[in-house]
């Protein structure tokens, strides 16, 4: 709701002599975070994951003796620290005269807005916290000839770790498909046929490819960190990071004094952590 307390309702929103049977939805972004992260929906505020230093195996001749080494433990904690929320006022006359269920429409749009914001937060935070990095050849993903080189280099960053069995992912933006689709359609035989016959193939070299909208990787500050991710993408092993969303996205409808209709509020509690012991399995990609 605007600060003036007045909504901007189009004239076509109000009921004429008919009632709309359907309502076209706003274009929806695909949500990615839950496909590549573990999600905790319990009511826990914190998730503890302490870890110890790595021991070094001693190799000696047959002496029967050994050296006692020191070790350290480090706390690693996910904390639910942020609220993502949207609030609007739907006046009674707006709902009464509307051609469609305005309450349901606003609730749907609010919850989707929060889901998209959480997705963007998780993807940017994941990129920020990655400890592996890679810079593409000039032209990045939009140059088809680069794609195999990029994929080979990224896979080599995480190859050999046991966690790779969880599956690999790559998150790009829709503009990157200009090169990726061409590469898919021109590499190999059966794979190229599949790409040509069925369109964009979402797995390549064993890596699941997820496409976000332009602007998902951003320089805009979100919650607890300053993003500098415009021109970046992210690759890695699935389920190495966790985001907590206690009870998921919630919705409230409440009466407000001195106003007709209802106030609609949607909100979600969020915490995120790329665990320190797994950070090397996520790669921050810089587009050259």
Query: What is residue 168's predicted lDDT score, i.e. its pLDDT?
Result: 97
Return d(Cα 125, Cα 115) in angstroms, integer.
Answer: 15
- Shortest CA distance to 85 belongs to which of 278, 243, 270, 275? 270
Return d(Cα 9, Cα 5) in angstroms, integer.
Answer: 13
pLDDT surpasses 70 at 237:
yes
Query: What is residue 29's predicted lDDT score, i.e. its pLDDT?
Result: 84
CA triple 154-157-162, angle to 5 deg: 120
Q: Cβ(106)–Cβ(262) under 8 Å?
A: no
CA triple 177-178-180, angle to 5 deg: 55
- Shortest CA distance to 76 belongs to which of 111, 48, 104? 48
Question: What structural domains does the chain harbor?
Answer: 28-49+75-286 (3.90.1690)
pLDDT in tens, 22-59: 555 667 888 899 999 999 999 999 999 998 999 999 99
| Bridge partners, residue 234, by sequence | 171, 284
276, HSE (Cβ side, Cα atoms, 13 Å): 12
Return d(Cα 184, Cα 164) in angstroms, integer.
Answer: 23
pLDDT in tens, 152-199: 999 999 999 999 999 999 999 999 999 999 988 888 666 677 766 666
Q: pTM of this prediction?
A: 0.86
pLDDT surpasses 90 at 263:
yes
Using DSSP, state whether 279 is helix, strand or coil: helix
* Mean pLDDT, range 82-98, rounded to an integer: 89
Distance of CA 14 to the CA centre of its chain: 37
User: Model confidence at 98, in pLDDT bands (50, 70, 90)?
Assistant: confident
Share of the chain above pLDDT 90, in %: 66
């Amino acid at each position: 709701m605007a600060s003036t307390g007045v909504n901007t309702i189009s004239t076509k929103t109000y009921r004429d002599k008919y009632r709309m049977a359907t309502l076209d939805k706003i274009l929806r972004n695909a949500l990615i975070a839950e496909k590549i992260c573990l999600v905790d929906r319990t009511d826990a505020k914190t998730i503890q994951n302490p870890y110890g230093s790595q021991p070094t195996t001693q190799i000696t001749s047959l002496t029967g003796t050994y050296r006692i080494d020191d070790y350290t433990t480090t706390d690693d904690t996910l904390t639910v620290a942020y609220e993502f929320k949207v609030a609007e006022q739907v006046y009674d006359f707006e709902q009464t005269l509307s051609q469609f269920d305005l309450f349901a429409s606003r609730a749907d749009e609010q919850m989707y807005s929060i889901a998209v914001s959480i997705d963007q937060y998780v993807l940017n935070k994941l990129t920020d916290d990655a400890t592996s990095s890679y810079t593409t050849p000039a032209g990045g993903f939009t140059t088809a000839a680069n794609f195999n080189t990029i994929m080979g280099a990224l896979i080599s960053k995480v190859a050999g770790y046991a966690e790779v069995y969880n599956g690999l992912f790559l998150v790009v933006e829709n503009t990157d498909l200009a090169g990726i689709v061409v590469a898919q359609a021109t590499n190999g035989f059966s794979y190229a046929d599949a790409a040509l016959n069925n369109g964009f193939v979402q797995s390549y070299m064993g890596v699941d490819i997820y496409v976000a909208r332009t602007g998902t990787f951003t320089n805009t500050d979100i919650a607890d960190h300053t993003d500098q991710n415009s021109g970046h993408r992210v690759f890695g092993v699935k389920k190495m990071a966790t985001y907590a969303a206690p009870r998921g996205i919630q919705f409230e409808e409440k009466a407000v004094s001195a106003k007709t209709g209802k106030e609609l509020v949607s909100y979600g509690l969020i915490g995120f952590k790329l665990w320190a012991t797994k950070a090397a399995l996520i790669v921050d990609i810089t587009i050259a």
